[in-house]
Structure 1
């Protein structure tokens, strides 16, 4: 009988957490053959709430035996298309069912694509400064797969929602390389005017190819080495909003729509690092 899977220690840093989960040091999950996606995908009649062998493995590695609330009682919702025309940029939206308050808030989110070579697309560390823990981004989905979000509340509860997405080729589609000189440029946008002392929506985009290592260079006929945004730390007026630990399952030019609560004029700021240990920053004055 194989040894039981140990739950993930909560005190680890983002990078330590990912390495612990993979069990292969600092290598990406794509290098761990025991969790490679099975050929052929899941049957087309798979339901959005169904389980998969990949998810069962990931659940044990990340959460151990902790209970996870699903269904109508879950405090998080995931919105994703059933069919996506382009697997390299599948839009997903995470909707939290409770506000961020000091008494109870979402402190961590995991975004996963079961059958991707690197299933753990993102881990978000949140604070009450988010105001409302709703996020939007775009994912690479390599084959028919469940996409899942697991939300961890400040009281330790885990809540999950999932969707089954029918698309393919997301990890092998080559990115746009027309403007390599812009790599690392980090841009904030506000879709509307800020609302003081209330959740305000903002977008942050990092210009970056987010190469997966599975894309073929049509000229050299060799695989393009993986090269992707690894972390984004967003703050406002010096107060942390969220930290994102990312992998190449996030699409090219990673973009996150999020909320923050401005308590007065200040500066939105993002600190970014990529897999080549390059560091970038972006900022926007608000108010």
Structure 2
């Protein structure tokens, strides 16, 4: 490549970087008429406190794939009350409440990541309720579109044939002693059809069929319970941290909207990872 061309490319890159605003880097929540209309149905008369001092929500400003937008929630204030419940909301989605979570004590300070569909440029927000009953909110603005109607990444028949298969990978912290913090990743095979997608051969709409409940227990102790909707991505995935209570197994139970029940028990010492 000639020097003039290299110079032009470099100048263009500098120009792009120079035009990137602080808001695009931070992608904070923006004013939303949709949220103004929706809020009462979601929160009732609860006061919402600013959540930035309690926890963070990380999301890309421009999503690489609107059907699998990564969202990570991290409780940053170790001295604050424990987060017991969390609602994940995508303002502009047809069904805005992507998921609600209930956390057991062993989750401790929340560190949870999942993937959602984003149907149009939208705020993605989290409402976290602490043990003392207060509710905090923070979020990010995400530029993505078409996530709820995006075609499935797998052949529908293959997706149905493998539906309900699970994998739990312990990524760090697994020791012989209880009390350690463990990082794990749960993956569930499921097409999570949104009801807005079309069969790429027949062009007929694929009926909604998605995971609506997940419960994860370490021995008898609840880690988390999720109630989900169409906004959780295909093949639901959850990366999370929890405290080892000494139990030898982690049990996962999931149900879907067609009455499917999927269960698996994983021995900690024999988990892939």
Establish whether TM, by shorter chain, passes 0.5.
yes
Query: Which residue number in structure 1 is paired with residue 102 of structure 2?
Result: 125
Which one has a bigger Cα radius of gyration?
2
Measure the CA separation in 2 of the matches of 1:61 and 1:100. 31
Q: Which has the higher strand share?
A: 2
Corresponding residue for 1:238?
Answer: 220
The alpha-carbon deviation at position 130 of structure 1 amounts to 0.7
Counterpart in the other structure of 1:81: 60
Instruction: Map residues 38-187 of structure 1 onto 2, 5 A cutoff.
Output: 48-70=28-50, 72=52, 74-99=53-78, 104-175=81-152, 176-177=154-155, 178-187=158-167
CA contact (8 A) 1:100 1:128 kept: no
Q: Distance in 2 between matches of 1:71 and 1:280?
A: 35
CA contact 1:100–1:106 (8 Å) conserved in 2? no
Unaligned runs of 5+ in 2: 1-22
CA–CA distance in structure 2, aligned partners of residues 206 and 53 of structure 1: 35
After superposition, the C-alpha distances for 1:59-114 in whole angstroms (9 at most, x for unaligned) are 21121232211264x4121000000121000111001124599xx31110000100
After superposition, give the CA deviation of every residue in 1:171-225 in whole Å (9 maximum; x if it has no partner): 1112112343110112111112415313211111110001011111122221110
Task: Report the Cα distance in structure 1 between the residues aligned to 2:183 and 2:236, rounded to whole angstroms.
Answer: 17
Aligned match of 1:41: none
1:133-190: per-residue Cα shift (whole Å, max 9, x none)?
A: 1110111001100100110001011111110100111011121123431101121111
Q: Distance in 2 between matches of 1:100 and 1:123?
A: 24
Q: Does 1:200 align with 2:177?
A: no
The answer to whether the aligner puts 1:218 opposite 2:200 as a matched pair is yes
CA contact (8 A) 1:130 1:199 kept: no
Within the candidate set 239, 248, 267, 2:249 is matched to: 267
- 1:99–1:244 Cα change, 3 Å: farther
CA distance in 1 between partners of 2:67 and 2:190 (Å): 14
Name the CA distance, whole Å, in 2 between partners of 1:226 and 1:143: 19
Aligned residues: 241
| Backbone CA RMSD of aligned residues | 2.0
Aligned 8 A contact 2:151 2:200 in 1: no
- Return structure 1 stretches of 4+ with deviation > 4 angstroms: 44-47
TM-score (norm 2): 0.83
1:286 aligns with 2:263: no
